[in-house]
Structure 1
């Protein structure tokens, strides 16, 4: 459906973006705090075109959107989850205006891994990105204990066998610095549990720092500090979908 043709109840539009519950909105209409195209709303159940009509609450125009797409620079110590009894989770880092959309992390980053995490309430896109059949590339920067060699890059390019016997898809290992402590970038096309760490364990080395720097063709915004996030632009969303 064309967004311009979309018709929804006023109270559904406003509750979806976190203005209030339907009970709250009924009261706000009664208190003459909501307008539609400059006219006072008289019925919370009236149908509106949320992408066309100018809806204002307390004289402030609202921006309606069905889906939200957030790029976060996840810090260490925070779980890629929506809830946990003991630890802080990524949605705890969101402002109320964003978590009312009930976004969830797409895929996961380990608790001690930093970097690009996408959060959205668009289940279709999340499935496209995480589906094993899609082979969406993810690139990581890592610090490695040990000298990373061209032989390791060659092994990764053919796929390595993990500790449980699983052989990974070929990955692209770029050596940035080779020393007793090495620095690398690694692109993989699947998301097995602790995969990057286990791939290096398979060649006798240990990851001491890990950060995801891109998903698909979309890089992490270098301006985002750890724990910060922002909405994707239209262009970035198209890049991610491609």
Structure 2
């Protein structure tokens, strides 16, 4: 058993962080002989262990320790990208207890009525890296826009457009996929748009700047991380090792 060093932690802290109980509860479990480290029954849960190297068993189950959790959520419309809200459901309400214990938070936000890729983690350093305005992390959206999106709009977005508050956006890459007649002479365009910043309601306001209205919006990528096409709306999963590497986190530990 490790007794010192940079990676060691109190045993009760390790177990409580993983949701196995409060420190008081863990003290009782230790007295009952329920905690074993490297084959030795531990009666003092205050002992230091290396959770990445020591074999820790709780009630006969070997635990897998990790400090951080990285979750890909297919956010549904109607849910708030926040950790708490007094009126509406938040993205945390979609998570299981086994992940809530890590106290994850959304990296950035999607509007209430927007669906798509949302990363949740408790890795504050990663969140800062991904959200830093200086990094200009690209974010790609698919949208249905009321009105015929034209090549003039493509050129305007490529130069950046001026929003309603006078801010001139960075260049965006607009791709027109199709136009669809909706009846009564109304046309809607299916597009994708990649932007390199994250101003409030930015995609919607960019189209308003060229006289059009977004009626459906879905984020499909953030940096190199893409929304899993098989992930049903309202569900989530942990990132794979390959996806962790894409965001600069090569392993779960």
TM bucket normalised to smaller: over 0.9
User: 2:224 & 2:29 partners in 1: Cα distance?
Assistant: 44
User: 1:25 & 1:78 partners in 2: Cα distance?
Assistant: 35
Partner of 1:37: 38
Partner of 1:218: 225
User: 1:225 & 1:91 partners in 2: Cα distance?
Assistant: 17
User: 1:43 & 1:107 partners in 2: Cα distance?
Assistant: 41
Instruction: Give the structure-1-normalised TM-score.
Output: 0.96
Deviation at 1:32, TM superposition (A): 1.3
Partner of 1:240: 247
Matches within 5 A, 1:107-186: 107-179=108-180, 180-186=187-193
Deviation at 1:172, TM superposition (A): 0.3
Structure 1: gaps (5+ residues): none
Deviation at 1:231, TM superposition (A): 1.0
What RMSD in Å do the two structures reach over aligned CA positions?
1.3
Partner of 2:58: 57
Asked if residue 209 in structure 1 is aligned to residue 216 in structure 2, the reply is yes
Partner of 2:17: 16
1:79-118 residue CA offsets vs partner (Å, 9 max, x unmatched): 0000011100001111111111111101000000000001
Structure 2: gaps (5+ residues): 181-186
User: 2:225 & 2:15 partners in 1: Cα distance?
Assistant: 31
Instruction: Give the structure-2-normalised TM-score.
Output: 0.92
Aligned length: 239
